[in-house]
Structure 1
Amino acid sequence: MAAQISNNKPFIKYSQMKRDAFVMWSGGKDCSLALHNFLKEASGTVSYLVHVAGSCSQGHKLPLHLLKAQSQAMGVPLIIRHINSSHEGFEPHLKSVIRSLKKEGVNAGIFGDIHLQEHRDWIERVCKEVEVEAIFPLWGRRMRDLMDEFVDSGFRARVVAVKDERAPLHCLLGREVDQEFVRDIEAMEGVDLCGENGEYHTFVYDSPLYDKSIDF
């Protein structure tokens, strides 16, 4: 997967390098749209999807075979690093994976963050410590524009998890992410339109990046 782009992102010292990137992968809409934007706008290739979790996708609670199906549909290898106990931290596992990828020439990571500065700061610190570039294709963009782009570009996704303490969100479970869904989310007071605070999580079962849709 390659595209011709120019992209001014953090860590400018990397900007003249040919980007061979991994994508931090959850199976949901934000990482999918971030990958899509990178391929449209950046000069480089995407060599791997990276997922660090237990037996299921972290917040999304997706069976890992569904992530593998996405990987196969895109023709991009998926690396899954298991955290085997609650005492093991996420960060050491992520750094270990990135260091292994660096030996293969991977020098950048793509992340689907939109506006949570604290999380971006953490990602940038981790990437700086292992000397790879952190790329945020969706960062700072208007959330309605992102949702419109996701739907209009041909992505298809369903809601697979919601925050349990937000009872009104339960009605979203199983919903298709379409324009009606976007309007309903906008009408919910205190709910982030893109679910950036974990209000809801999605599984992308069809995409302009897939060679076929995923049955699930």
Structure 2
Amino acid sequence: MNILFWSGGKDAFLALHFYKQQHPRHKLALLTTYEEKTGLVPHQQLPISHIRTQAAALDLDLHLVPLPRKCSNEFYLREVNGKLDEQTEPVEHLIFGDRHLSDIRQWREASWKKRGYRTLFPIWEKNIHELLPVLQLQPIRITISAVEEKYQSLIRIGETYDQAFVTQLQHLPEQIDLMGEHGEFHTKVSFADLSEQLV
């Protein structure tokens, strides 16, 4: 069994895409942490109902871990590890959508190495010129779900994340990572069903 940490946004989707390319026969499930009081995924600000819809569209099992709004790393690890321990099959890989924040990667690697898990980062150091075309070829729609306060005059919640959006960011005087890697904005992935309606 392999567990992909799923936020509901584009980076998690890309990690899923590249992992499945590399390991098409591996059994996979999703794990999502969320704020227990609001029922929202942190950062992306997505309701758990949307995460459930995504998992159903992907035909993947979903494991949910409720957390308080503010919790220590130790509490986070205890709750997540508790969920991992509940798995009926041995967990081999933990998969993350980090791209180039080395401190976060190092923390993940160190934290889970102690428990014998191998951590994988399928989109590590891939640039937007490689990733954006992949997103554009998928039957999905990506929209902005949250924006850091200081960028709210430049980026609107609900905007479509596509080539036009990226080009717009490139022409702004402010330095904004084109994939929002530093938390400037977060995204939501919606999947097309058989009738081509987005969910």
TM-score interval (norm. to shorter):
0.7 to 0.9
Question: Aligned-pair distance for 1:132?
Answer: 1.1
RMSD: 2.1
Map of 1:164 onto structure 2? 149
Cα distance in 1 between the residues matched to 2:102 and 2:109: 10
- Asked whether 1:48 is paired with 2:29, we answer yes
Cα distance in 1 between the residues matched to 2:118 and 2:96: 11
Of residues 198, 204, 208 in structure 1, which corresponds to 2:183?
198
Contact 2:34 2:48 in 1 (8 A): no
- Asked whether 1:33 is paired with 2:17, we answer no
Which residue identity lines up with residue 99 of structure 1 in the other structure? D
The runs of 5 or more residues in structure 1 that have no matched partner are 1-19
Question: Aligned-pair distance for 1:135?
Answer: 0.8
**TM-score, length of structure 2 as denominator length:** 0.87
Identical-residue share of aligned pairs (%) = 26
Of residues 109, 113, 117 in structure 1, which corresponds to 2:94?
109
Map of 1:24 onto structure 2? 5
Map of 1:90 onto structure 2? 76
Contact 1:24 1:49 in 2 (8 A): yes
Map of 1:99 onto structure 2? 85
Distance of aligned partners of 1:72 and 1:172 in 2 relative to their CA distance in 1, 3 Å threshold? same
Map of 2:41 onto structure 1? 57
Contact 1:30 1:112 in 2 (8 A): yes
Which residue identity lines up with residue 174 of structure 1 in the other structure? G
Q: How many residues end up aligned between the 2 structures?
A: 193
Map of 2:136 onto structure 1? 151
Question: Aligned-pair distance for 1:93?
Answer: 1.5
Question: Aligned-pair distance for 1:44?
Answer: 4.2
3-state SS of 2:122 partner: coil
